[in-house]
Homo-oligomer: A and B are copies of this chain.
Amino acid sequence: MARAATTADVFNAIAEPRRREIIGVLVDGQERAVGDVVRLVRLPQPAVSKHLGVLRRVGVVTVVKRGQHRMYRLNAAELKPVHDWVRMFEKYWTHQISRIKERAEQKAAEAIGQAHGAKLSSGKNEE
Contact = CB atoms under 8 A, between A and B. Distances in A.
Give the number of copies in the complex: 2
A11 B20 contact: yes
B121 A33 contact: yes
A109 B65 contact: no
Interface string A51-91: 00000000000001111110000101101101101111110
A67 B121 contact: yes
Interface of A: 3-4, 6, 9, 11-12, 14-17, 20, 24, 27-30, 32-33, 35-36, 64-69, 74, 76-77, 79-80, 82-83, 85-90, 92-93, 102, 105-106, 109-110, 113, 118, 120-127
19 contacts: A3-B6, A27-B89, A28-B106, A29-B105, A33-B120, A36-B118, A36-B121, A65-B127, A66-B120, A67-B121, A67-B122, A67-B123, A67-B125, A68-B123, A69-B123, A79-B92, A80-B93, A82-B86, A86-B86
